Amino acid sequence: MSAKFSLLFFLKRRGGYVGGDLPVYLRITVDGKRAELAIQRKCDPEKWNTKKGCMVGTKDSVKEFNSFLLAFQTKVYEIQRSLLMDGNPIDPEIIKRNLTGKDRSAKMFLEVFEEHNENMRKLVGKDYSLATLTKYSTCLKSLKLFVQFQYKTSDINIRLMDFAFLTSLEMYLKTQKGVGHNTAMGYVKKVKKIIHFCVANKWLASDPFMAFKVSINKTSRTFLSEAEMKSLTNKEFKIQRLAEVRDMFLFSCYTGLAYVDVAKLTNNAIVEDGNATTWIVMDRTKTGVMANIPLLPQAEKIIDKYKDHPKVLVTGKLLPMISNQKVNAYLKEISVLCGITKELSHHCARHTFATTVTLSNGVPIETVSKMLGHSSLKSTQHYAKVLDKKVASDMKRLIGVL
């Protein structure tokens, strides 16, 4: 038989009361057993509706006050539902301990996510990059807005994480935030990591991702053709900042290095072997995998060009890099001036190295993968654009054999 469950907000008078606002309390009743707690709000008795358990009025402050009561009530029902799902008794004292944070067994989703980010922050530069932390921090901000929007509360009990939560989150991200499918799935994948952590700690009985598929749509990766690279190389810029950003971009086109790797590059990463070949040898920031890249003459020329640059001399870095945000902004200017219609970003240079510079010139994909510092060949295959020029040359070679 189900327990009789009721909630009541009321104003509590104490001895010696003569006037003024009174503290608002919540009474939780289960089969006649009660528990009461203050909800850290006060109200003028003249504005209180005893029967409905809320403030009377139409002002925004009244609506905000009553919205808080509703959110608090929703939180109680979430805890009740969680206890039912776990087969625990519905006891008003247990619910009260959950609400006040005195029940250590009750874990809240956003709180766990926050702890995860704090631990990640301590490991930046060791196990994680700052960029990764930023992505998780951005995800957490969106989740806070979602929980407030969907559940009218500041957090949700981890036991309430289910398939409906994930589908609602996906819908919220696509409709309310207006993000694309792959971006939404990026958020969901981060939630998946936290959920699996909770399942492993037995805070959550089952994994809601067993019924939810994280799908990523294939996207077309932008890269420059030989003609576009030539146009970029030969363009003379009167503005120094644009010339420098162009050179930093071309450096990545000839090395395949991501922005964050070029930004941290020093002379220590430049190594010459016994065969008079100069290499860039470094651990990739994103994966930690060693990247070994023979330094092409075009890249070597750029290094030599900036060896006496004031910023290089002060920082000890190999090149005078500026922020990624500014680089991408300036690349938009550069593309217009060079008549390039493609939307350029610094990462486009990495794609260009993988396709136009290496794969289309017959460099095996296994070699490209090693130079890119990929942990698996599967990652490199995303870059593997089979260009018309490569198809034509392969077919000519086949005709010669036949």
- Residue 26 and residue 83 share a domain: yes
Write the CB contacts of 134 (distance below 8 Å, at least 6 apart in sequence): none
Task: Write the pLDDT tens digit of every residue in 254-287.
Answer: 999 999 899 999 999 999 887 778 999 888 777 7
- Residue 187 and residue 246 share a domain: no
Task: Write the pLDDT tens digit of every residue in 77-130.
Answer: 888 887 887 677 788 888 887 777 655 556 889 999 999 999 999 998 888 888
Q: Is residue 218 part of a domain?
A: no
- Residue 166 and residue 48 share a domain: no
Q: Is residue 211 part of a domain?
A: no
- Residue 186 and residue 47 share a domain: no
pLDDT at 1: 46
Q: Round to whole Å and give the CA distance between 240 and 242.
A: 5
Q: Round to whole Å and give the CA distance between 306 and 267.
A: 12
Q: Is residue 215 part of a domain?
A: no
Which of 201, 234, 257 is at the close of a domain?
201
**Within 101-220, where are the H helices?**
109-122, 130-151, 163-175, 181-200
Q: Is residue 166 part of a domain?
A: yes
- Residue 280 and residue 148 share a domain: no
Which of 70, 100, 130 is at the close of a domain?
100
What is the separation of C-alpha 156 from the centre of its chain, rounded to a whole number of angstroms?
A: 20
- Residue 87 and residue 116 share a domain: no
Which of 186, 201, 216 is at the close of a domain?
201
Q: Is residue 213 part of a domain?
A: no
CATH number at residue 273: 1.10.443.10
- Residue 231 and residue 305 share a domain: yes
Q: Is the pLDDT of residue 199 over 60?
A: yes
Which of 99-103, 153-157, 182-186 has maximum average pLDDT? 182-186
Q: How many domains does the chain have?
A: 3
Q: Round to whole Å and give the CA distance between 292 and 123.
A: 25
Q: Is residue 377 part of a domain?
A: yes
Q: Is residue 396 part of a domain?
A: yes
pLDDT at 172: 95
Task: Write the pLDDT tens digit of every residue in 210-237.
Answer: 989 999 887 777 899 999 999 999 999 9
pLDDT at 66: 92
Which residues in 31-162 belong to E strands, given as ranges?
33-43, 48-49, 54-55
- Residue 312 and residue 263 share a domain: yes
Q: Round to whole Å and give the CA distance between 287 and 129.
A: 9
- Residue 385 and residue 251 share a domain: yes
- Residue 188 and residue 235 share a domain: no
pLDDT at 387: 58
- Report the share of the chain in percent with pLDDT over 70: 93
- Residue 185 and residue 244 share a domain: no
- Residue 116 and residue 96 share a domain: no
What residues make up the domain containing 242?
226-400
Q: Is residue 325 part of a domain?
A: yes
Write the CB contacts of 286 (distance below 8 Å, at least 6 apart in sequence): 129, 131, 132, 258, 260
